[in-house]
Structure formats: C-alpha cells, structure tokens
Amino acid sequence: MPEKETKGERTRRRILEAARQEFGRQGYERATIRGIAAAAECDKSSVIKYFGTKQQLFREAVDWQASFDAAELRVDDRQGEEYLRAMLADFAGPRNDPMFALLRSAMTNEEAAQLLREKTTTGAVDPLAEAMEGPDARLRAALLSAVMFGIAVQREMLRMPYLADADLEDVLRLSGPMLRRLLEPRPAQDPDATP
C-alpha cells in the first residue's frame, strides 16, 4: 500500500508544480517567489522553507530526464521518428512540465541556458552519440537534437501555423528521412573526390 503523502510533502509538491507553471509562463527573470507562493496557495515563507532561494527552486523545478533510456538506445530506420515522437509528447504535456519551464527560461536567463545545455548534452546528445556509428557521431547527435528541438518548440510552444495543426503522423513521415540521414553512419568524404 502506498504511503500517504504528508502535509509538508503536499505543500512542497504544490510549490514545485506552481513554480514550473510560473517559470514556463513568465521565464526565470519575471517569475517571483511571491507569485509562485500565491499560485501554490501558500505563503512566501513556505517556499523559502522548502527550497531556500529562487535559484534553488528553479533548479529543482526544471529537473528532467530524457524520454529514452541510454542503455536501450538503438539506431535503426525508425529510431529518429521515435525520438521525435517522445520529445513532442513531452512538449505537448501540461504547461507545468519541467522541460517547458526550462526552455522558456533559457531564452532570457544565462544560468537556465547553461542548465539546458548541460541536461541536453549529458541526457540526450552524449548517449545518442555513443550509440551511433560512423564519423562525426557527436555532431550528428547534436544536429538531430537541434532539429527535434526546433520542431518541438515551433509545434508545441510557439504554435506556428501549419506545423502546430499538422497531424503528428504527417510530421513524423516528412521529417523522418532527415532524422534517419543524421542517424545513419556515413563514410568520411574524400576532399579530392568529385560529388
């Protein structure tokens, strides 16, 4: 039988959910401890008690893991589409999602941008590069990540026309060849060879 959540655990959870929503809506710079406390229906002292500073609250609120397990990575014909599907599912979630809050905040705050770089590199790009074969694995993994982030941000955060309204299967069908191209090992090009 699961343990019952204590009052302190409930308050802490509400603060984290409110923080994700506020950071996702306003970014790091404009979100305030007072506003987060109001959204969590608690007082400012509770936020400070459980998290200390706005910076510490932010770091915990935006903690996330990649949608795939590095130990299970395989690079095959459908893998690029599956990575993109998982990323789009993460972004399509509630607006109190850690990734949404981190990405929104990274646009205006260097600490958030650095945290996003670290998490993306260690949680997604590095494990993917290690599973890839052929030259330029790290660059190809970084490009794959950049393409997928671009699609996810424009589709789910910015709600860009055409892309936001497109059927997910159409997005995957049309982006799949490009993603597969980045995943496939390619021999190094001889600079003297003619194309």
Per-residue model confidence (pLDDT) at position 163: 95
Asked if residues 12 and 36 have their Cβ atoms less than 8 Å apart, the reply is: no
Q: What are phi and psi of 96, to 5 degrees?
A: -105, 20
In 3D space, the residue among 85, 73, 83 whose CA is nearest the CA of residue 170 turns out to be 85
**Rounded to an integer, what distance in angstroms lies between the CA atom of residue 136 and that of residue 116?**
22
What confidence tens digit (pLDDT) does each residue in 120-159 have? 898 888 988 888 888 999 999 999 889 988 998 898 888 8
Per-residue model confidence (pLDDT) at position 184: 82
What confidence tens digit (pLDDT) does each residue in 68-88 have? 554 455 555 567 787 788 777
Tokens of 156: 């789910």
Residue-wise over 27-60: b if at least 16 C-beta within 10 A, else e? Answer: bbeebebebbbebbebeeebbeebbeebeebbeb
CATH number for the segment(s) 7-61: 1.10.10.60
Tokens of 101: 């809050």
Residue-wise over 104-114: b if at least 16 C-beta within 10 A, else e? Answer: bbbeebeebbe
CB atoms closer than 10 angstroms to residue 75:
19
Superfamily grouping for domain 70-183:
Tetracycline Repressor, domain 2 (1.10.357.10)
The model carries a pTM of 0.73
Which residue ranges make up each domain of the chain?
A: 7-61, 70-183
**Rounded to an integer, what distance in angstroms lies between the CA atom of residue 18 and that of residue 23?**
8
